[in-house]
């Protein structure tokens, strides 16, 4: 329930289209990896950017539960390149117009 509560926290901040990726990857048997250490990625669209901006958290379950989403995300290219988010972190990307709005306001979440 703690994981669902954290996802709901982001939903309440003003996001839609949340997609969760959990585990080590396609075809991998990750049952020997402790649950809190398994890879976790959450991709979402912030409200107010008309679908032209996306944001992503990349890390593991434990880090996600402890992550402070008031931090500014790192801006990466659109479309994202895999090498830009190899490390764990918080990222955003989008159209030129949406990124201009974000750069002016530095506000990812409306609520």
Is the pLDDT at 28 greater than 90? The verdict is: no
Number of structural domains the chain divides into: 1
Q: What pLDDT, on a 0 to 100 scale, did the predictor assign at position 31? A: 82
Is the pLDDT at 96 greater than 70? The verdict is: yes
Q: What are phi and psi of 13, to 5 degrees?
A: -75, -20
Residue 101 lies in a domain: yes
Residue 100 lies in a domain: yes
Residue 85 lies in a domain: yes
pLDDT digits (tens, 9 = 90+) for 56-69: 999 999 999 999 99
* b/e code 61-75 from CB counts within 10 Å (16+ = b): beebeebebeeebee
Is 58:85 a contact under the CB 8 Å cutoff? yes
Q: What pLDDT, on a 0 to 100 scale, did the predictor assign at position 27? A: 66
Give me the residue label for tokens 């289209």.
17
Tell me how far apart the alpha carbons of residues 79 and 94 are, in angstroms, rounded to a whole number: 8
Residue 110 lies in a domain: no
Residue 111 lies in a domain: no
- What is the extent of the structural domain holding 22? 2-105
Q: DSSP label at 81?
A: -
């Amino acid at each position: 329930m703690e994981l669902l509560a954290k996802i709901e926290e982001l939903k309440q901040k003003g996001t839609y289209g949340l997609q969760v990726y959990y585990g080590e990857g396609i075809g991998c048997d990750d049952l020997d990896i402790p649950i809190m250490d398994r890879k976790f990625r959450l991709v979402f669209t912030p409200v107010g950017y008309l679908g032209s901006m996306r944001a992503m958290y990349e890390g593991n379950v434990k880090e996600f539960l402890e992550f402070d989403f008031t931090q500014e995300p790192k801006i990466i290219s659109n479309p994202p390149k895999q090498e830009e988010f190899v490390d764990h972190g918080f990222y955003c990307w989008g159209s030129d117009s949406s990124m201009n709005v974000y750069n002016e306001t530095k506000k990812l979440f409306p609520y």
